[in-house]
Amino acid sequence: MDKIQFQQRLLGLQEHMMSFAIKLTANRDDALDLIQDTTLKVLDNQEKFVDNVNFAGWVMTVMRNIFINNYHKIVRVQTMVDQNADLYNLNIINDSISGSPDKVYQMQEITKAIAELNDDIKIPFTLFLNGYKYHEIAQKLNIPLGTIKSRIFFARKELQNKLKDFQYS
């Protein structure tokens, strides 16, 4: 297979590559990056393709391996969190609780419950409360997006259990 045929076959797989990349990354932007990385890697390694091998399978294997390698790189990177940052600040407007001792007490209880969470779930959860989007938290903490979503979910569940007898007015 010559270079032109190879490139045409690769271009013909773009839709299939996008479907697979979205399944792997669960994010359109990350999927596009993965497709770009895969395309470059496949083009750089064209000479390694054996003509009697399933071309689509070979390309998808390259994509999967790139995804796994990138994931392992992210996992190896240590998460650095500024210990001086006020992660418990909920950015709540004082007017909403002024004049009501009950509301002040409720906010103190909620803040206390959040402060008691395990750091693994507390940090992403408080960043989310402060207005960060899931992908921004994942980027900031160098943790996969799915892990961020899970940790925020578990923080919510734990807070629901801790505050289940709590009366909201």
pLDDT of residue 127: 86
In 3D, which of 14, 29, 27, 111 has the Cα closest to residue 63?
Answer: 14
Dist. CA 101–CA 49, nearest whole Å: 72
Dist. CA 27–CA 20, nearest whole Å: 11
pLDDT of residue 96: 47
Q: Flag whether the pTM goes above 0.75.
A: no
pLDDT above 50: residue 162: yes
